[in-house]
Amino acid sequence: MSGFVSFVGSGPGDPELLTLKAVDRLKRADAVLFDDLSSGPILSHARSGADLVGVGKRAGRPSPRQHHVSRLLVDYAETGQRVVRLKSGDSGIFGRLEEEITALRAAGIGYEIIPGVPSACAAAAAAGIPLTRRLTARRIQFVTGHDVSGELPEDIDLTALADPTASTVVFMGKRTFPKLAAALVEKGLPADTPAVLAEAVSTPDQAIQRSTITALAERLGGGIGAAPALILYGPLADGRDD
């Protein structure tokens, strides 16, 4: 009999931000395949004796190929095990969820998706700002800062990203933000647009730095460090009230 896979969003890193349903699935899982950012204290909720398998992908580091991760999910489930695929943030946001679902469907294996606290929401909360504002920030946009080669995507919609009335969150963008910021200014986004760099959100190493898109681009051009980060920019990044 085939097992079952629970795709669990673990939130940004703080185990207290796990949902009750996420904790329940971890406690009942026979195997947990986890991303790097979902490790540490979050795995303390896994039951004793469960297989804990790291399958995380980090830019610039050796990582398992996606087809290997998908194959592992299928292999574990085909033995009848209850499997948790633990992903950071919410698994449906830049989490390669679709590839893994496709593999399970092809193998006839059942699954569920348990949402997690998106890291973008956690970053805004850590910075003490909302992601929307009446009249001046009615739209939120999430964008990945790199493609499969690690470069800024060539087909990125710069017109949308240069909208001064939108709140924009850039995932995995520290390395490419200098290039992106220059393109945004060329598209008409003011060079002094407020920006926030949120690193290691909700963990003991959390660091929140307020800047502008040009100042942040200059800083990141001199070195990015290893901490996972989000970049927020737009009318809310300065933390002003209505």
Burial of 117 (0-12, 13-18, 19+ CB in 10 A): buried
Q: Nearest 5 degrees, angle CA 182-CA 185-CA 186? A: 85
- Please indicate whether residue 27 is annotated as part of the active site: no
Give buried/exposed letters for 89-111 (b at 16+ CB in 10 A, else e). bbbebbbebeebbebbeeeebeb
Amino acid at 127: A
Give the single-character DSSP code of 234: S
Residue 190 contacts residue 164 (beta carbons within 8 Å): yes
**Structure-derived torsion over alpha carbons of residues 114, 125, 129, 121, reported in degrees to the nearest 10:** -20
Q: How many CB atoms lie within 10 A of CB 44?
A: 8
Selecting among 24, 36, 57, 179, the annotated active-site residue is 57
Tokens of 129: 């700002």
Q: How far apart are CA 101 and CA 156, in angstroms?
A: 26
Selecting among 14, 30, 35, 163, the annotated active-site residue is 35
Residues identified as active-site? 35, 57
